[in-house]
Chain A
Amino acid sequence: MRQRPLPSFSLPGLNGASAVALALLVLVPILVLLSAWHQQQWETWQHLLDTVLWRLVGNTLLLMAGVTVGVLALGVSLAWCVATLEFPGRRWLEWALFLPMAMPAYVLAFVMVDLLDYAGPIQTQLRSWWPGLTGFSARHPLWVVVTLTLVLYPYVYMLARLAFQAQGRAVLEQARILGDGPLRAFFKVALPMARPGIAAGLALALMETLADFGAVSVFNFDTFTTAIYKSWYGLFNLQAAAQLASLLLLFVLVALVLERRGRRRARFSELGGRKVVRARPKMAWLISLFAFGVLFMAFLLPVSRLLYWVVGTGLQGVDLRFANLVWRTFLLGAMAASLVLVLASWLAWVKRHQPSALVSASVQLATLGYALPGSVLAVGIMVSFSAVQGGLHELGLSVPLVGGLLALVLAYVVRFLAVAFGPVENALQQVRPGLVEAARTLGASSSEVGRRVYLPMMLPGLLTALLMVGIDVMKEMPATLLLRPFGWDTLAVRIYELTAEGEWQRAAAPSLTLVLLGLLPVILLTRRR
């Protein structure tokens, strides 16, 4: 093996292979589905092409465009204000704006539909003021975009805020000295410099949008994912569903590659000195109002509605079994998040030390799983596990893989590796090679370098990754439903059961608990510094 410029602590060949293995973890479930069950699927395709497919593709593109505009507008502007301007309430809004991250999209969706529906409180009130009012539909695409934007903007907000804070004032001031106005300076300097962070946040938001089924089905808004589920649940054709899902993955892959190309490896080094400037008083109040408005719509309003329902149903179903749900939810989140973190660190490490084409392609593939609809992924994993279990059985080994916790945890890994990889890779990049070499020159052993250089420098990034994945796992519904072992019901499972029967009020207690549980990591995420 050729010596790398950076010290590498284990066998290079093995490392590369492990990255490939992680990529296969994403690909195998899909490939297995594509090949395993031979059915007549041309008929399904023909039908979808003739009837709904183009509308669904159009809807999906519309939704993606809307969510892109929405999360960028909210995420970037809020991040910019918080990072560079002083306004009333900035201190608490800075972290409170993360709170919507704890809100599962399907929960916000059913609260929104309830509030906005013709029979809901808002339109009823409006009609009591103006009896002739014809009203509007709560299932308009606009509301789907609004809902997804409100739950997904924190991804952009978080990463953009970090980027803006890292830039400091110096760059902007230089731009201003060179004659740019404040807006021009923002668009010409600050925004392009923050682009990698913003793009990473946007990519997460869009992948989540593509994979979402829960929220869009509450609105009955048909997207590409709807076609996947229609093929499976309605037309009983799982293979066509898998084919559609693989198309979705291909689309995401192309989009990500194009984005990378567009960025052309632009790297910006940080200039320290973060300082906020006081905004003009009128402006400052407007900003406060805007930030609070977002927080209200995305978090305070839905939470109070859930509270109202919980009070109305009188804590029905909150008992010992409910406590067990909470515990299992937390346990799964903690376990899966730790594993995802470890694997993401490993992947980032391998990518840094063995930057070959194969490795970077594998890394790219391994982080695609976030765009996979959970149920399809889950079935793929189940079929592959079943095959492995069968093989082991032939060899005389009886290992109950299917229906075990491992399958579920692996599904989480495939789904959420992308979420952890970004922050971890960023954190690793902050440990400059020169720093490591200096430490080694000064006689530090490799474990000391790990403990005293890597760990402290990477800790914020690692924690961010851990907590984000933890929240996502706790909110995850479809894969948990299908792969959970006996007794491993979670809050999301209970929410599914109740909402599937239209019992939204009774679903409020588990929903609210899930939001509160998700708040713990969010608060940790924002309080550590």
Chain B
Amino acid sequence: MRVIGVMAVALVALAGLWGCSEPAADNELVVYTSRNDHLIKPVFDAYTEETGITIRYITDNASALAARIKAEGERTPADLLITVDAGNLWNAAEMELLQPVESVVLESNVPASYTDPAKQWFGLTKRARTIVYSTERVNPENLSSYEALAEPEWKGRLCLRTSKKVYNQSLVATMIERLGSEKAEAVVTGWVGNLATDVFSNDTALMEAIVAGQCDVGIVNTYYYGRMKRDNPQLPLSLFWANQQDSGVHINISGGAVTRYAPHPEQAKALLEWMTQPKAQHLLAEINLEYPVSPSVQPAEEVKSWGEFREDDLNVSVAGALQVDAVKLMDRAGYR
């Protein structure tokens, strides 16, 4: 049975040697990202083409990537963390995984409300989360705000995505900031009471339910609507810009940050700056029908066709700071 022992050692050694990540060379950057391969690769490819710098990246859930950076500590190969939702970036900053970046380019391209006040992370694209409704069964004049969806007139007509999705956590976090905990909880409780069916695990299924007539209104990120509309121009759904009379539509970001122990902090900063320039902004925004963060860049034509709207100008870091409270509030309200 010594054979078994020898085999075990041999296999472990093989695994140990194979795939050992050799440290990145100087013309190479390492990015940890929760953005999907097919959304981020074209952007990185364009950067490589322009600068000759290759980008190695790994995708995963943002919390998992943060844990990886934390575990790797000072020896992390990661130069940048690129993820969605201010909550995740806020958490990474809280875990002391990021470093502040001073950059005139970033400051001029990224509006202050989409930048970490401590300059540890910067928005790259904006994502609007608003109300979607059935054009067959809902008169948009009856719609007004997120809060109004808690009114009794929407009983049995509302569809929501799970509270486990960070988008909803951020939305509720900003409601806590504006309305206070008590009122926000009353709204969420109202939503739950109005639900037509169990909550969905993604925005697309939610919109399909509205189309099929299971419910009449819902809350979604606009790019999911855009994707569906692209596949089916006759889609009997429309977007409604929420809270135009007061706070504006809830905005979240996808954003980037330089890690605290980045092996190449200067190149990392350069990539981040490049990503806020018009060329990358166009790419980033168009691939997934999101809104460019840079005010000087126009969104894609089809995105523009959904109309202009007033954005919530609350700094997105609020969503991060209040995310834990939001999760707890939704648990109390029975929002699954």
Which residues on A are within 8 Å of B, measured CB to CB? 9-10, 18, 47, 50-52, 113, 117-119, 123-124, 135, 137, 139-140, 217-220, 222, 226, 229-230, 232-236, 238, 317, 335, 338-339, 342-343, 345-346, 349, 375, 378-379, 382-383, 385-386, 389-390, 393, 399-406, 408-409, 450, 478, 481-482, 484-489, 493-494, 497-498, 500-504
Contacts and interface: CB of A to CB of B under 8 A. Distances in A.
29 contacts: A117-B209, A137-B198, A219-B201, A220-B162, A234-B323, A235-B324, A235-B327, A236-B323, A335-B11, A339-B11, A349-B4, A379-B67, A382-B71, A382-B72, A386-B73, A400-B20, A402-B71, A402-B72, A403-B77, A405-B15, A484-B58, A486-B57, A497-B37, A497-B38, A498-B38, A500-B36, A501-B39, A502-B202, A502-B203
B157 to A, nearest CB: 14
Given A235-B324, A402-B75, A10 B1 contact: yes
Given A51-B328, A230-B327, A400-B20, 11 more contacts: A47-B328, A119-B209, A139-B198, A219-B201, A234-B323, A236-B323, A342-B8, A401-B16, A481-B60, A481-B64, A497-B38
Contacts of A342: 4, 7-8, 11
B94 A386 contact: no
B19 A404 contact: yes
A204 B48 CA distance: 47
A229 B327 CA distance: 12
Given A217-B201, A335-B15, A317 B38 contact: yes
Interface string B191-234: 00000011111111100110111100000000010000000000
A349 B63 contact: no
Contacts of B224: 502
B22 A400 contact: yes
Question: Which 9 pairs show the lowest CB-CB distances between chains A and B?
Answer: A405-B19, A502-B202, A119-B212, A119-B208, A51-B331, A139-B198, A485-B19, A502-B204, A118-B214
Contacts of B199: 139, 220
B273 to A, nearest CB: 24
A118 B209 contact: yes
B269 to A, nearest CB: 22
Interface of B: 1-5, 7-8, 11-12, 14-16, 18-23, 30, 36-39, 56-61, 63-64, 67-68, 71-73, 75, 77, 91, 94, 162, 164, 166, 169, 197-205, 208-209, 211-214, 224, 323-324, 327-328, 331-332, 336
Contact of A335 (B14, B39, B169, B212): B14
A336 B231 CA distance: 41
B164 A232 contact: no
Contacts of A18: 5
A346 B12 CA distance: 14
Contact of A135 (B71, B214, B331, B336): B214
A482 B64 contact: yes
Given A118-B212, A218-B201, A482 B60 contact: yes
A488 B4 contact: no
A200 B19 CA distance: 35
Nearest to A37: B70
A220 B37 contact: no
Interface of B is mostly: helix
Contacts of B209: 117-119
Interface of A is mostly: helix
Contacts of A382: 67-68, 71-72
B64 A406 contact: no
Contacts of A338: 7, 11
B82 to A, nearest CB: 14
A10 B5 CA distance: 10
B275 to A, nearest CB: 20
Contacts of B60: 481-482
Contact of B71 (A218, A236, A383, A504): A383
Nearest to B58: A486
Nearest to A222: B336
B266 to A, nearest CB: 22
A390 B261 CA distance: 15
Nearest to B77: A403
Nearest to B59: A497
B164 A339 contact: no
Contact of A113 (B39, B75, B205, B213): B205
A390 B36 CA distance: 31
Nearest to A32: B71
A222 to B, nearest CB: 6
A403 B69 CA distance: 11
Contacts of B71: 379, 382-383, 385-386, 402
Contact of B2 (A9, A222, A502): A9
A220 B201 contact: yes
